[in-house]
Amino acid sequence: MHKLLYYPNFEIQDQNFLKFALLYIDEIKPIIPVCARETLSDSMHNILKNTDLINPYAPNYESGYVASLAAIKYLEEKNIAERYGAFRQRNIGLRHNYTLYADKYTYEFENYCLENGVGERCNEGILLNEDVAYAYMSILAEIISKETETDMITDNVKYADTTLKFNNRFNSNRIDRLGMVQREIQFYVPYDMRKIPLNEFINLRADSRFETARKNFVIELNTVLDLYDRNVVDIDLNEWISLKAVIEDEKATFYLNDDPQPLLVVDQMIHG
């Protein structure tokens, strides 16, 4: 798995997946306008500064224009504005709680949202109800995915709505493969990854020895899985993946590819 386009947020919300990504994925492209990068967390800045995992993608005008028109069509087909108005009349509050930055859309979408009471202006762009904003981001991500020939991924199942996609080039086999590899890697790290600090994974990814081993691992794994997908070979990943951790009290020692020298030693584990 070489490159993935992440949506709908600026930052990956599932820390366990982020840790897995630091171990395996070559590159993740979250959709982040240049003007919004100062809002990122310290952890995100640490990843950007010290690893090559995150490569923010700034949407262009053409993508925002196509997404704006497609989103208007989608909202019309789903009667979102009409349903939204009915909810508000019954005093069922639908808060405008998601900021959609202006670099992600064009005037057409903003005007539609304002005229139909679906959003309101703010300094950064427009404030929308979360469901409307995430619907828009799903459509924008699909358009960018097609333009850049990059598979999409989200860690929010609620908004992975297949009805938001059109002329879809989403490669479900590769995403299924990603889930399988994540499960395998977690199996070979027999200590709960949630209890290992994120900074340890960042430091590991920043280590040149690990990065060389990781890239070789990814090449070999993808080669075997390509053969597996084509039914050329029948292989059990347990036979050849060698990623393990040795846990002793508060110390964890990590080994990769049967190397006798540990790639990472964590002296103070987090206990939950």
- Residues in a beta bridge with 246: 253
- State pTM to two decimals: 0.74
Burial, 84: exposed, middle or buried (Cβ in 10 Å; 0-12, 13-18, 19+)?
buried
pLDDT, average across residues 226-230: 65
Q: How far is Cα 213 from Cα 208, in angstroms, rounded to an integer?
A: 9
φ, ψ for residue 120 (rounded to 5)?
-145, 155
22 vs 151: CA distance, rounded Å = 18
Over 90: is that where the pLDDT of 110 sits? yes
Q: Can you say whether the dihedral through the CA atoms of 92, 96, 97, 100 is positive or negative? A: positive
10-19, 36-45, 208-217, 237-246: least confident range: 237-246
pLDDT the model gives residue 69: 96
Q: How would residue 84 be classed by pLDDT, with cut points 50, 70 and 90?
A: low
The residue that leads in pLDDT, 102 or 255, is 102
Segments in 30-156 forming alpha helices (H): 42-50, 61-77, 80-89, 107-115, 130-148
Backbone angles phi, psi at 268, to 5 degrees: -125, 95
Q: Compute CA distances 80 → 109, 116, 162, whole Å.
A: 14, 9, 17
Spell out the residues 6+ positions from residue 259 whose beta carbon is closer than 8 angstroms to its own. Answer: 213
* Higher pLDDT among residues 115 and 267, named by residue: 115
Mean per-residue pLDDT of the chain: 77
- In angstroms, the CA 126 to CA 252 distance is 46
